[in-house]
Each structure stands twice: as structure tokens, then as C-alpha cells.
Structure 1
């Protein structure tokens, strides 16, 4: 059974690029346009093995989203990769403190993302 990855990003074009790369690698992909939608997807999904989240989003940003995810016992150990334009050390530290396991700065290339994903979960 394929592993499921949730993509949380307010850019539909970026979600499409990420989804194509992950689907081609054999992953099942769920999508959300912001942190609130991401939490709703997690509530509905049977199992999410990994989350890829942007930082800058409307309603609930990525840092707040990761912190909220980590408060749920069911998702406490779900690895999170931040995929964002933010590259400052202070922002990365906020992400790590919230529970992010990896940080990839946009623009990115799909092999870079797949390498990070494969280090956190096997397909």
C-alpha cells in the first residue's frame, strides 16, 4: 500500500508540481490550500505518513500548522518538511521548534524533494 503525503500550500501550481513528483515516485497525495484545510485533511485521512508544508499561507501559516499537528497524538510523530521561500535561520529555528524535520527553500527541484522524503519515509 502506498504511503500518503499531505501537501499544504496556498499556491495551486506549486501543489501540482509537488503532487506530480510524489505521485510518479509512488506516493498517494492529499492537498490543502492553507493550514486550516491541512488540519481538516488530517482529520479525514486514514493515515498520513508525511506532510510537506509552505510557511507563508493565509488563515494559518505553516509554523502554526505544524505546531497544531504536533499537538494531536495521532500525528505527533508524522514528519514534516517545510517547502518555502523563507531561508532565514530564525525562521528555520521556529520551524524546528514547532516540529519540522526538514527545510527546503524554493525554488527547488523534484529530486531534492524526493531525496528528503525518502530519508523520512520509504515509498
Structure 2
């Protein structure tokens, strides 16, 4: 690393699938050098977002209990988390309904682990 002014991004990955969380975490840490924490539910994600205030939340759409869209709405209602960009992770084919909803982007599952960081960076306008 050049050490100039490289910023380490902090990302919260939220998915009820443990394997997906671990693949995303490993990918973002190894490929991009980001700090990644994980949560398995919407409620856990809300708590962690308030405590950690990550640079990004990658949020599964379909989870038991509190789903991604509900979690997203609750994050937007809380002044401590309202400004955190959220990217939905989804296996659904139709993602058009989320355009203009304040969601920073949508990434289809399954994703390419080697290209995940670049895909996120592109969505958010971050330098890769």
C-alpha cells in the first residue's frame, strides 16, 4: 500500500445466509482491503449501524422476520443512520421498483466475489 491518503472503507454486510456473508466479507477484505462486519438480521443490522456508522450497508432484500426494505426504511427514519448508503443484495430479477427510493444500488445474487468491491465502488463513486 502506498499509504498516501487511502481510506479504509467500513462495510456492514447483512444477509441471513451465513455462507454469503462470509464470501462477501472475505471478498471485500481481501480484494479491497475494507473492514467488514456482518449481521444476520434486520434488527441486528440496525443496532450495528447505530454503533459503527459504516460507510456502506449491503442489505439482503429477502430475510425472515424484518426484510431488507423494512430495515432500509427504519435506517432512514433514524437520524443516526439516515445518511448511510445502502446497496440491496437480491436474487430477484425485477429491481426497477427501487430506483429513486434512496437505495444507492442493487447487486444481484449470486455475485462475482472477485468483482464485488469494484461493483460497489462503481455504484457509490468510490475510487476502487
Shorter chain as normaliser: what TM range?
0.7 to 0.9
Q: Distance in 1 between matches of 2:62 and 2:9?
A: 26
Counterpart among 91, 97, 110 of residue 107 in structure 1? 110
Structure 1 runs (4+) deviating above 6 angstroms are none
Q: TM-score, normalised by structure 1?
A: 0.85
Q: Distance in 2 between matches of 1:105 and 1:55?
A: 10
1:63-89 deviation digits (Å, cap 9, x = unpaired):
111111111223222111111111224
Query: What is the CA distance between 1:105 and its match in structure 2?
Result: 1.3
Q: C-alpha root-mean-square deviation of aligned residues, in Å?
A: 1.8
Structure ID, larger Rg: 2
Counterpart among 26, 29, 38 of residue 31 in structure 1? 38
Q: Distance in 2 between matches of 1:97 and 1:62?
A: 16
> How many corresponding residue pairs?
119
Query: What is the CA distance between 1:13 and its match in structure 2?
Result: 0.2
Query: What is the CA distance between 1:122 and its match in structure 2?
Result: 4.4
Q: 1:100 to 1:49 in 2, by over 3 A?
A: same
8 Å CA contact retained: 1:66, 1:99: no
Query: What is the CA distance between 1:2 and its match in structure 2?
Result: 1.8
Counterpart among 29, 47, 57 of residue 51 in structure 1? 57
Aligned to 2:13: 7
1:24-68 deviation digits (Å, cap 9, x = unpaired):
1111111110111100111221x3100111111012100111111
Q: TM-score, normalised by structure 2?
A: 0.82
Q: Distance in 2 between matches of 1:114 and 1:3?
A: 11
Higher helix fraction (1 or 2): 1
Say if 2:122 is the partner of 1:116. no
